[in-house]
Chain A
Amino acid sequence: MLSSFELLEPTTVQEAAGLLERYGDEARVYAGGAELILLMRYGLVDATYLVNVKTISGLGGLVAGEDALRVGSIVTHRALELDAAVRKGWPLLAAAESHVGNIRVRSQGTLGGNLCFADPHADPPTALLVYEASVTIEGSGGSSWLPLSEFLRGTYETALQPAELLVEIEVPRLPSGWTAAFARTERFYRPTANAAVAIDLRAGAIAGARLAVGCVGPTAMRLPQLESELAGLTPAEAGRRVMDARAYLSRQLDPVDDLLGSAEYKSYIAGVLLARAIGQAAGTEGANGHG
């Protein structure tokens, strides 16, 4: 049994922000409950009030524009996984979404909820970092815009201030001609580690690369130094370079021991997954992003 709480159903973002301000620490944002209900059941989160943001109109948009995909914060994982425009234009995101939990979790959970929860063992943020996604935050003081890399602060920690809501995720397209792949390994539904890669391959050599690794440290992160080292290499050479970068990965990713693996194993497997994804993005290994 869940302990009792009361439900608040605002119809606008401003009203929701006002409710969060009024009830302070006693209120929690509810966007589907795939994670929140579990935490409440296990007594890890106390909530006297749930603010249901699904009653706010305008947060459920999913628009594939010329330059970017705009995802309202209450769009479910399942909607993103199945959307034809997302699968075509943002295949890394569709791949990452298809791995979240199981089919029931994906129908209940939302991308906005997932990002705000900031569980380090998540798939969507890794893919979103490669697209250089950003988020729009709104509170009673107005709205602000933040790169996702700055929104994700640490384990279960985001840049969201009290009485602020994540309203939209903007996901730019990759530059034309780039190819991408997502690789992961998991135990018990939860990703042990994942990697998202996009490369610009010209005449067999890498002209540009974006690399991201998730689940290894407190947040998913990009690897800018390693990205620049791949310039001019063939995909095979790049694969070896990331495998050899274990010391850098270990320093950069700040891996932690947990039930899914030791810190040492995680920095090793991060290199393996990056190499595998580079191969897949170059079309030299496998056909899809499944790890």
Chain B
Amino acid sequence: MAEPRAIVTLDCTVNGERWHGEVPVEEVLLDFLRARLGLTGAKRSCESEVCGACTVLVDGQPMSSCSFLAFEVHGKQVTTIEGLTCEGRLDPLQEAFMRNVASQCGYCTPGQILAAKALLAANPSPTYEEVGEWLSGNLCRCGCYPSIAESILEVARAQSAS
């Protein structure tokens, strides 16, 4: 019969780099990323899977890292906002968010962009309604929704044209 374990071995890939070590079973992915790896792009906010500020991608799927146990990413790929930059160049979504001023305080922005990244991977040409539905779990208290949606649609249009 299985014996209880307080610490488990974790082997995962974060932003393309392999991480191997031990974590306490109660450590949530957000603390793993922020405190252990120093990746502070994912933000702590509601801590109840509602606001989306802590959104990261696990094997490409948006997850609430505040309430997802770190041991769950064993053998998986984790992507944070820090991982979107490629050779010093920002992701097209990051560029579009800046161009359209799709943030004010910026606290929700990493989560918005990662959710959008997953959306465009699943659906390269979303409608305005599909953008709204997919991102309905990412709240922006500054109310930048119109320019967030426009930024995503702009990137989708540019990518389908190229």
Contacts and interface: CB of A to CB of B under 8 A. Distances in A.
B49 A34 contact: yes
A38 interface: yes
Interface in B48-63: 48-50, 52, 55, 61-63
A247 interface: no
Nearest to A38: B48
Interface stretch (B1-9, B13-21, B141-149): B1-9
24 contacts: A1-B31, A2-B26, A4-B6, A4-B26, A5-B26, A6-B25, A7-B5, A7-B8, A7-B25, A7-B71, A8-B4, A11-B2, A15-B1, A15-B2, A22-B1, A33-B67, A34-B49, A37-B28, A37-B67, A49-B4, A101-B49, A102-B49, A103-B62, A105-B64
A189 B50 contact: yes
Given A6-B5, A38-B48, A103 B134 contact: yes
B68 A33 contact: yes
B154 interface: no
Interface string A95-128: 0000001111101100000000000000000000
Given A6-B4, A8-B2, A105 B49 contact: yes
Q: Identify the interface centre among B2, B5, B55: most chain A CB within 10 Å of its CB.
A: B2
A240 interface: no
Nearest to A15: B1
Given A4-B6, A41-B47, A105 B137 contact: yes
Interface string B111-153: 0000100000000000000000010110000000000000000
A85 interface: no
A189 B61 CA distance: 20
Interface of B: 1-6, 8, 24-26, 28, 31, 47-50, 52, 55, 61-64, 67-69, 71, 115, 134, 136-137
The interface residues of chain A, by DSSP majority, are classed as mixed
Given A103-B137, A107-B63, A37 B2 contact: no
A103 B8 contact: no
A46 interface: no
A108 B28 contact: no
Contacts of A11: 2
Nearest to B26: A2
B137 A104 contact: yes
A103 B69 CA distance: 17
B47 A108 contact: no
A270 B41 CA distance: 43
Interface residues of A, number: 32
Nearest to B61: A107
Nearest to A2: B26
A160 interface: no
A132 B71 CA distance: 37
B64 A108 contact: yes
Given A6-B4, A107-B61, A107-B63, A102 B137 contact: yes
Q: When A and B form their complex, which 4 residue pairs have the shortest distance between CB atoms, in order from nearest?
A: A102-B137, A6-B4, A7-B25, A2-B26
Contact of A2 (B4, B28, B50): B28
A37 B69 contact: yes
Nearest to B4: A6
B2 A9 contact: yes
Contacts of B6: 4, 6-7
A3 B116 CA distance: 33
Interface in A45-81: 49-50, 78
A50 B62 CA distance: 24
Kindly name the residue among B3, B5, B63, B69 whose own CB sees the greatest number of chain A CB atoms within 10 A. B69
Nearest to A42: B48
Contacts of B63: 104, 107-108
Nearest to B51: A102
A33 B26 CA distance: 11
Nearest to A47: B26
Nearest to B50: A189
B1 to A, nearest CB: 6
Nearest to A37: B67
A5 B26 CA distance: 6
A39 B64 CA distance: 15
